[in-house]
Amino acid sequence: SISSLFHSGSRSSKTFKPKKNIPEGSHQYELLKHAEATLGSGNLRMAVMLPEGEDLNEWVAVNTVDFFNQINMLYGTITDFCTEESCPVMSAGPKYEYHWADGTNIKKPIKCSAPKYIDYLMTWVQDQLDDETLFPSKIGVPFPKNFMSVAKTILKRLFRVYAHIYHQHFDPVIQLQEEAHLNTSFKHFIFFVQEFNLIDRRELAPLQELIEKLTSKDR
């Protein structure tokens, strides 16, 4: 199953940022377990669907935390290859370059190296996930009205880490025998954002060919 992929072997225990845990015994934890169980069946299209009677916000929240953890781990395995020297700009191939802004601390987009950009990005996501007003972990605390737009921004930015890994660091991924792991994680991510229309097609352009290849077998 995917979850055992993520927890097996010492090499995958190196996360880039600390793992974000969903509190055991909580409803969100049950949802995460449900997600892992359906993923185990191997049908990703089914696995991403909203379980009957569940709250969409909560389902998106649980999966967003899970994708953060997956990308955290995947990027953690290749940080040695993603350096100021190897990646002086944050790019996804020659046509796509990203500049960082979070709208609060850094309002005007700044050009920075990929490791710096990804550090900013993952720290920013972490701060959102840790914000109880945005991602309430307590039962009965409602999600804010702007939750979906926050989640969309998080997922849009997490996509960029996948895009950078695929375009700039695929060789080490193959050397580390992480290719199947990366593809499965990304495919799950894409099915999820497609199911709920969470990322604009334009944003997905850097990996369009790969997305078509990974998803065409499962239509």
Average pLDDT over residues 2-20: 58
Buried b (16+ CB within 10 A) or exposed e, 88-126: eebbbeeebebebebeeeeeeeeebbbbbbbbbbbebbe
Structural fold of domain 27-216: Butyryl-CoA Dehydrogenase, subunit A; domain 3 (1.20.140)
Beta bridge mates, 97:
91
Phi and psi, residue 110, nearest 5°: -110, 145
Task: Please report the pLDDT score of residue 6 as a whole number.
Answer: 43
Residues 219/94, Cβ–Cβ less than 8 Å: no
Phi and psi, residue 98, nearest 5°: -110, 140
Task: Please report the pLDDT score of residue 104 as a whole number.
Answer: 85
Tens of pLDDT, residues 171-211: 999 999 999 999 999 999 999 999 999 999 999 999 999 99
* Binding-site positions: 82, 87, 164, 169
* Binding-site positions for Zn(2+): 82, 87, 164, 169
Q: What is the pTM of this model?
A: 0.90
Confidence of residue 13 (pLDDT cuts 50, 70, 90): low
Whole-Å CA distances, 59 to 6, 83, 178: 20, 35, 27
**% of the chain beyond a pLDDT of 70:** 92
The answer, yes or no, to whether residue 35 has pLDDT greater than 50, is yes
Tens of pLDDT, residues 76-129: 999 999 999 999 999 999 999 999 998 888 899 999 999 999 999 999 999 999
Confidence of residue 217 (pLDDT cuts 50, 70, 90): low
Annotated domain spans of the chain: 27-216
Helices 179-195 & 147-168 angle (0-180, nearest 10):
150
Task: Please report the pLDDT score of residue 4 as a whole number.
Answer: 41
Task: Please report the pLDDT score of residue 11 as a whole number.
Answer: 43
Q: How far apart are CA 71 and CA 189, in angstroms?
A: 10
Tens of pLDDT, residues 119-155: 999 999 999 999 999 999 887 889 999 999 999 999 9
